[in-house]
Amino acid sequence: MLVDPQKRVSEIRRVDQTKLESTYISRSGFNEFSQYGEDGVIKKIFSILKEDSRWSVEFGAWDGKYLSNTHALMRQGWDGVFIEGNTERFKDLQATYSGNSKAHMICGMVDFDPEKNSLEYYLSKTAIPLKFDLLSIDIDGNDWHIWNSMTKYRPRVVVIEFNPTVPNDVFFTQERDFSINMGCSLLALVELGKDKGYELCAVTNSNAFFVVDEEFGKLGIKDNSIPAMYHDFQSARIFTGPASEIVTVELILFWYGVTKVPPDLLQVLPKDQIRYGDALGLARKPD
């Protein structure tokens, strides 16, 4: 690549370290109702693990089918627990599953009070077994905290959303606050999963799939490290030089279609202070 010496050049030279043998489940994705291939990934996982309870759980369910990770399973005769807190959307959910005795619908907001509105509180009001087949968590914020709060129920497979703008080597979780919608990093989910006895088995654009330890070996994945499983093609970089000028590389707001965030918006120091003293012949006195 020819570089113009009169211009600043900054770009990420990404290296895809994913492995074919590690990502065979991720590459099985397709959509019936899901967003990023989750329907196909779920089908592939259960083609290997085999279905057991045939129960699934999804909350923030909306109408039970739009971008749903469980509606395809319901069409195959599974039982499903659907929790939706918006009363108008709950009506749509009821319309979707009108007459379906296998759809267990709850109008409520999942929070953290174990006596009133935690996920496990709602599940305890249904006939779902303690070990069920699939849990889907996608609430645009407190996903990590909801999974972390679970102690009694143990789904065999967990599908959970992460923030794909966070680089693979960054551990990030937002505060446990429903007024914030920042989510968590993939690394944070992997570490939480290991603490809870789960292993990463597949990744789509913004969802990670975990399988209980005792069944992970059935999948034949020898390397499920994050680089082998997922290429973080959406993450940006921010760095500074000795003058403390902030430089951004591929910093975008893709949820809003902003393709370039000017680094000038992020400068901490006033412009007249962005100077490196030694370069100006103003060497600092030794400490």
> pLDDT tens digits for 132-181?
999 999 998 999 999 999 999 999 999 999 999 999 999 999 999 999 99
Nearest residue to 182 via CA among 138, 141, 144, 236: 141
Q: Do 245 and 135 belong together in one domain?
A: no
Task: With respect to residue 1, please indicate whether it lies within any of the assigned structural domains.
Answer: no
Q: Which two tokens stand for residue 62?
A: 């909306």
User: What is the domain range of residue 253?
Assistant: 237-280
Q: What is the pLDDT of residue 241?
A: 82
Predicted confidence at residue 244, as pLDDT, reads 86
Q: Is residue 17 part of a domain?
A: no
Residue 60 is predicted with a pLDDT of 84
Q: 268 and 173, same structural domain?
A: no
Q: Which pTM value belongs to this model?
A: 0.91
Backbone φ, ψ for residue 57 (5° rounding): -135, 135
Q: Which pLDDT score, from 0 to 100, does residue 106 have?
A: 96
Residues 51 and 177 in one domain: yes
Distance CA 122, CA 164 (A): 29
Encode pLDDT of 26-37 as tens digits.
999 999 999 999
Residue among 115, 138, 117 nearest 56 (CA):
138
Judge if 160 and 267 occupy the same domain.
no
Query: Is residue 36 domain-shared with residue 132, that is, in the same domain?
Result: yes
Same domain, 171 and 38: yes
Mean pLDDT of 248-254: 84
More confident: 279 or 45:
45
List the CATH number of the domain containing 67.
Answer: 3.40.50.150
CA distance readout (Å), 95 to 34, 88, 100: 19, 11, 10
The answer to whether residues 190 and 208 belong to one domain is yes
The answer to whether 82 and 104 are in contact (CB under 8 A) is yes
